[in-house]
Amino acid sequence: ALPISDHLARRYGEMGARIARLSRGIDNRTLSVGTGAKSVSTETTFSRDISRPDLLATHLLALSERVSERLKRKGLVGDTITLKLKTSKFRSRTRARHLSLPTQLAHLIYESGKQLLDREADGTPFRLIGIGVSGLDAAGVGDPVDLLEPRIARKAAAERAMDKVRTRFGRNAVVRGQIYRQIRYRQTPSPLRTTAPDNQPAPPKSNKDNI
């Protein structure tokens, strides 16, 4: 029988060989100190406070897509997802989660951030939300489709297809349903409502990207 390291290398290529080395405590990557980007992140400040978890999640999804686009453009992946929240009293909350494999995929960034958000969205009104990816590495070491579970692999394939359409026709050529529904809600006038309730979708007041 083949050694496990040879089996992984034959089946999964360089990613398999790297996993085999890491399992033995061997990491040949070069450590660079003080050079290059340490994280890719973006955040948005609302024009009014938002406390509804579903609305916060929709903003988080849009921000995750922006971070994903920048990671893909720069050829990077990351293995640590950080959620940033700021309350109406300007108190910051920062939560992080480490991934087993680095990623640049928007849906994985979002799902990790959403798990962190679910623990914090307890009815507290928030004025700011942000998402970031750190622990950066070259894109070749992340998101091996054949190592992903089928559900995630299908989402990854769909996201790659969306990327191709956006590259050809512009980023607004494909909009995720969750984001589209919020846009439609904000643009549809209601004769029965002259002012929006406090927890209805609020347009971002400002956006800030960091790398």
**Over the stretch 150-203, which tens digit does the pLDDT of each residue have?**
777 777 777 787 778 777 776 666 665 555 455 444 444 433 333 333 444 455
Topology of the domain covering 37-210: Dna Ligase; domain 1 (3.30.1490)
Amino acid occupying residue 32: S
Give the pLDDT of residue 83.
Answer: 98
Average pLDDT, the chain: 77
pLDDT in tens, 78-106: 999 999 999 999 999 999 999 988 999 99
Domain ranges (residues) in the chain: 1-31, 37-210
- Measured distance CA(93)–CA(86) in Å, rounded: 6
Contacts of 156 (CB under 8 A, 6+ apart): 105, 107, 143, 145, 148
Tell me if 78 sits within 8 A of 71, measured CB to CB.
yes
Contacts of 111 (CB under 8 A, 6+ apart): none
Whole-model pTM: value is 0.68
Over range 130-137, report the average pLDDT: 96
Give me the phi and psi of 170, to 5 degrees please: 105, 155
Q: Judging by DSSP bridges, how do beta strands 204-210 and 39-50 pair with one another? A: antiparallel
